[in-house]
Amino acid sequence: MAHPVNDHALDVIFRDARSQNGFLEKDVPEILVRAVYDLAKMGPTSANCSPARFVFVHTPAGKERLLPLMSEGNRAKTAAAPWTVIIAFDLAFQEKIPQLFPHAPGAKDWFNANRDETAFRNGSLQGAYLMLAARAIGLDCGPMSGFDAAGVNAEFFESEEGEMKHWRANFICNIGYGDKAKIFPRSPRLEFDEACRIL
């Protein structure tokens, strides 16, 4: 039987975790980025369809391609982050279902009528899993919607050969060790009775 995680883990993942606007000049080794993915991939998706795709931008050449496509307010923080992840979804995700859901290989046809919706919804879930996984292993995240999605798709995906040409950007997240001096005060959250109903 599963046991609840301790309060420290809840603080790290939720209560004390903040969206970061700046990052320390501290290296994040690739092995940690791979560990983040290896945790995130375990989160549930519809029929294990796993449509999220992640482009980890780390090199100066990669940042040079991405930075002009970020909104002005997000450019400096993206330049400073050790890693920036383009969290995308694969419009051809169904091709992987026989591999991912082997006991029902015909499941690839379940999503013909709602392919895009399924890819977006489950890819968004996986993007959130990635952020929680990063926090769980001691990294900080700065998720962003402020970017030129059509430009990112054109620059990174649509012009590619092979599987990547079917990928589409959802949102972007900087990952590293956050600069606490650049955090805004925490904004309010809705109370249970404002956001929830029990039926």
- How much of the chain, in percent, has pLDDT values that exceed 70? 100
Return the closest-CA partner of residue 96 out of 86, 88, 105, 85: 105
Q: Residue 166: CA atoms inside 13 Å, Cβ hemisphere, count?
A: 15
pTM: 0.95
Three-state SS annotation for 155-171: HHHHCCCHHHHHEEEEE
Q: Has residue 72 been placed in a domain?
A: yes
Q: Has residue 8 been placed in a domain?
A: no
Q: Has residue 193 been placed in a domain?
A: no
Domain containing residue 134 = 27-180
Q: Has residue 56 been placed in a domain?
A: yes
Count of structural domains within the chain: 1
What integer pLDDT is reported at residue 168 of this predicted model?
98
Low-confidence spans in the chain with pLDDT less than 50: none
CATH code of residue 120: 3.40.109.10
Q: Has residue 59 been placed in a domain?
A: yes
Give tens-digit pLDDT for 143-184.
999 999 999 999 999 988 889 999 999 999 999 999 999 998
Q: What is the residue-averaged pLDDT of the chain?
A: 96
Cβ proximity of 173 and 87 under 8 Å: yes
Q: What is the CA radius of gyration of the chain?
A: 18
Q: Has residue 9 been placed in a domain?
A: no
